[in-house]
Structure formats: C-alpha cells, structure tokens
Structure 1
C-alpha cells in the first residue's frame, strides 16, 4: 500500500506543478507578470510559514548562516526564478516553458561541478550538459539575423529562470546548517515575494485591481498560491522522505506532459515537433548526468520485486 501511495503522491505532484504553467499563462492575461508572481507568494509564504510553525521544531532561522541560506533561496529560488519565468511566459507556450524549466537538474550538476573545481565533470557529464543545452536550442530555434525576436527573448528568459533555480538549489545545499527545509522554503517565499513587489514597483507595472477580480484571474492565482505552491510543497516534503533525489527530479520530466495536455485542453496550445524533440534531448541529458543513480534505483526496484 505504501508503494501505491508514493506513486499516487508522485503523480499528484507532477499534476499540480505541470498545470501551474497553464495557470500562469491564464493569469497573465489579467495581472502584470512580476506582480502576479509576488501575489502568488504573498499567500503561499504565509501558508508555508504556518505549516513550518506546526510541523517542525524550528519555525525561524537562528544564526547568520541560516539567514544567508534563506537569502539565497529568496533571491534565486523565488524572486529571480519567478520573475524570469512569468515575464518570459507572456510570449511562449506553457508546455515550452515547462520543458525549458525541466533543464534545471542538468544545470544543477553543471553548477555543482563549477563551484567545486576538484570535482570536475566527467566526459559523459560534459556531453550530458551539451545535449541538454542542445535541447534548449532546438526549442528556442534562434535566428542569427533576429536574435531579439519576441519569441526568442521570451524563451531565453525562461532558460534564465531554469538557471537561477539550478544555481539556487546548489548554493542553498552548500550551507552547512540544520535549518529544516520547510522553514527555509517558508522564509525564502516571504523574502522572495518582498523582492518581487519591489521589482514590480520599480518597473512601474500597472495596478488595475478591477482586472484581478475576474474569475479566471482569481482562479489562476488561487491555484498557484494554494494548489501548486502550498499543497504542492506539502506533497513534495512528504515525497522527499520517501524517495531519493533522482526520483524527485523525475517530477520535472512528467510535469511537462501534464502541462502539454492541460494547455491543449484549456488554452488550445499545440506542442510542435521541435518542442518535443527538445524535450527528448533534455531528458537524455538528465539520464546521462544521473546514469549511475538511475542504475542504482532500478537495481533497488528489481531487488524489491524479486523479494516480493
């Protein structure tokens, strides 16, 4: 029963996070992008902090190292990631955005190796990163004569979102602290949303509350705040105790499938052949980077199956 519950939670998380890209596209018709991202975490941050206060023994950081870890999460995992993603997704499909974001685990490996010179990438690792980046190039399809075309810039911004998230994931893990992940996420959300609000004001995004009360805008914001963020992270924390890092990362490769289906049904978006090919290359890059861990996981599955 435990195995089926884990599978159910995994599919639930992939669905919650995959559909989030569609909700972003829907809400961007009514709310400016950076403000939209900030409003999402106004709600989610408070919910997550309340959860941390109940679920773990430390609901706030206690020392400088822990606050620095939170600051990195706020800047990269929340503010930079969502600012780039929401702005970029104004001019690209939800499925393409989800696929580009799925490059994060591959980029994380590259950043991890770059930050630890003694732990250089193996030749296969280098090939994996190159294959993943080739997948991005296939999706973006840059035109040398017009590199500032709206679609190219938009996809480039989504790539920057994936890079910011990958770098943030590596840097937050490098802090040697005992801060619970729930607490770190909650305070990062609150700090990140403050930064997003400041950026929104700085770039003078229009304030039109009348547009925000449209049913579709309210639904998109509610889904992103409560469904994808609050509930999604609770499911993630549960799965984190059950699965290894490799299996958790696989959510990134199931979520775009959900995005493509929901985007087609709700927004009428069609995934073209180039986007599918790019997704395949990014997935191959991930499998190459994580080949040893994947082999171990399959070995564990086979051994459990034979024992049953």
Structure 2
C-alpha cells in the first residue's frame, strides 16, 4: 500500500472490523447471541440488495456451481462463522474475541492441504501453525475458568475454523456470480439459518424482542449492519483488487488492536499479559505462514530486490529486465558480489 487512498481504506477497514467487537458486546447485554447475529445479517442483506438494484448487477444464480457456492458461503463463511462468534463473545471480552479470530489466516493453509489437490504445506507454515495454536491456548488459560474463558475461546476457535473451511471449499467451485450478489446471497442464507437456529434453541426467544431493542442495542445493530458489514466489505473488496490478498491479510492483526483499545477505553475491559503474549505468538505464527509473501512486500522497502529507478537512471553497465534495473556489481538483490577474476 503506497497511495494515501489505500492506506486510508486499510485504516478504515481495521477500524470498522475492530470496533465491531465492541458493538457486539453492547448488543449482547440485551439480545440472545444467535438472534443478534441473525438481525445483524438481516440489516446488511437489505443494504446489499439495495446496492445490487442501484448498480444493476446480475443477481440470479444460473448454474449448479452458483448454488453450491451460495450454500457453502451462507452456511459456513457467514452463518456458522457469525453464530459461533457471537456465542463465543458471550464468554470473553471483545479484545480476546478479535485476537482469537486473527488465527484464521494461520489455520487456512493446513485446511487447504487437506481439502485441495496440489497444495503443499512448507516447514515454516507448520511451525507457524504450532505457534498460533500455542497463542490460542495461552489466551484460553489466561481466564482460568473452565466454564468461561476456555469455552468462549473454543467457540471462537470453531468460528475461525468454520470460516477457513468455507473459504477453502469455495475455491473448488466455479460460480458465475460476481462478488456483490454472491455476498448478498450468502448473507441472506446465513441470516435464515441463524433465525432457524434461534427459534429451536432452548435458551433463545424472540418474545421479548421489543423490550430488548434498547437505544444502545439498536444503535449497535445499525452500526454493525451499515459500518462493520456493508462498509467493511466494500472497503475489503476494493483493497483486495488494488493490493492483493497477502497484504490485505494484515488487517487481521490491525483490527484486534482497535478492538482492544475500544474495549479498554469505552467498555472498561482489561487485557492480561497472557493475552498479549498469546497475540504475539499468533502474529509470529502468521509471519511464518506468510513468510514468502511478506518478504516480497518488505524486501524493496529495506533495499533488497530489483529496483525500479526513474527513466534514464540505469547506467551503461546495468542490466534491465522487464523494467527492473539490476545494478552492476551486485547479485541483483542489492548485495555486492566479487568479480570472477
């Protein structure tokens, strides 16, 4: 990300997704978790339908692959993910929830290895997965309550795994729908799924919904639907096209910082040293899983890798390949080399 627009969108996305955990915390004060998750998706689905109508996108599924993708995305990436996330956050703070969900990019590679052909898991990724899981264990044990923190972290870990499995499985489909209609269908299917689960769940009831929708809860719902979901996904897809998935995946580690600050400043939450240490392990694990992509992103910044100087800057004894100038007297990556004689 080099342009001011990209940086602004990245920060906006981190804030939109990081503050969502605080909004969930507010809504859970009066609403049951599964119903709350369903209502969040209801609002976001309506906004996306309005966007499709305004932009004139083709929204009708036409192939079996379209329906398969919608079922996977709606059932796992949206319904399963948000249902487990909201349930898990009833046990833990917003900061802990955000940190545990940052494990998603780490657990995705081994799941891709198991579910997709021709995928390979390299040694750094194996070590990274181990460190990430160790970080989650550290966070789970930091609360010291078998019926509280550990249960919540387990549900959130399940949310992360369900999202990763759904993401990997959608790679095997060939949907003809564009991203916006596909996301809308997925949110609608996920909302229906969660409403059905809420009806049959013995601990949930919509009977007192009117009384539960206090001013604070209604504001939290509106914020989640408009800012965190609709606005967040809009920024995400714009950045995905502009900077790519590897660089954008760093938002998973910016949003927990936002969540922690908001939880501390506005909700009075505390963060333990074990939680901070667990987050550090998850970040190191992510770096190992994405070591190649991070090197490609960071090497030019610190002076390694092919350079692309201004026109006319190459000297007579330099070599130019596809617009990249390899400086004579180096190994092509900025390091000096000895001459053959």
Compute the TM-score of the two structures, normalised by the length of structure 2.
Answer: 0.85
Q: Counterparts of 1:202 and 1:154 in 2: how far apart (Å)?
A: 21
**Counterpart for residue 29 of structure 1:** 29
1:213 shift after superposition = 2.8
Q: Counterparts of 1:57 and 1:222 in 2: how far apart (Å)?
A: 25
**Counterpart for residue 338 of structure 2:** none
Q: Counterparts of 1:111 and 1:244 in 2: how far apart (Å)?
A: 21
Mapped contact 2:63–2:175 kept (Cα < 8 A): no
Q: Counterparts of 1:142 and 1:279 in 2: how far apart (Å)?
A: 12
**Counterpart for residue 131 of structure 1:** 131
Mapped contact 2:57–2:181 kept (Cα < 8 A): no
Q: Does 1:206 align with 2:193?
A: no
Q: 2:162 aligns with which of 140, 145, 164?
A: 164
Deviations 1:138-185 (A, max 9, x none): 100189xx9842221111101101111111111112212332121211
Q: Secondary structure, in 3 states, of the residue corresponding to 1:141?
A: helix
1:284 shift after superposition = 0.8
1:240 shift after superposition = 1.2
Mapped contact 1:113–1:120 kept (Cα < 8 A): yes
1:307 shift after superposition = 3.7
Compare relative contact order (CA 8 Å, sep 6+) and give the higher one, 1 or 2.
1
> Structure 1 residues 105 and 213, CA, compared in 2 at 3 Å: closer, same or farther?
same
In structure 1, runs of 5+ residues without a counterpart are none
**Counterpart for residue 149 of structure 1:** 147
Root mean square deviation, CA, Å: 2.1
Deviations 1:18-54 (A, max 9, x none): 0001110110001110000000011101211332344
User: 4+ residue runs of structure 1 moved beyond 4 angstroms?
Assistant: 300-306
Q: Secondary structure, in 3 states, of the residue corresponding to 2:269?
A: coil
Q: Secondary structure, in 3 states, of the residue corresponding to 1:269?
A: coil
Mapped contact 1:31–1:211 kept (Cα < 8 A): no
- The structure having more radius of gyration, on CA atoms, is 2
Q: 1:182 aligns with which of 180, 183, 187?
A: 180
> Structure 1 residues 299 and 183, CA, compared in 2 at 3 Å: closer, same or farther?
farther
**Counterpart for residue 61 of structure 1:** 61
**Counterpart for residue 12 of structure 1:** 12
Which segment drifts farther, 133-142 or 116-125? 116-125
Mapped contact 1:53–1:59 kept (Cα < 8 A): no
**Counterpart for residue 239 of structure 1:** 239
Which segment drifts farther, 115-124 or 215-224? 115-124
Which segment drifts farther, 166-175 or 82-91? 166-175
Q: Which has the higher helix share?
A: 1
Deviations 1:262-285 (A, max 9, x none): 111111001111111111111111
Q: Counterparts of 2:267 and 2:307 in 1: how far apart (Å)?
A: 41
Q: Counterparts of 2:227 and 2:216 in 1: how far apart (Å)?
A: 15
Q: Secondary structure, in 3 states, of the residue corresponding to 1:131?
A: helix
Mapped contact 1:26–1:220 kept (Cα < 8 A): yes
**Counterpart for residue 115 of structure 1:** 115
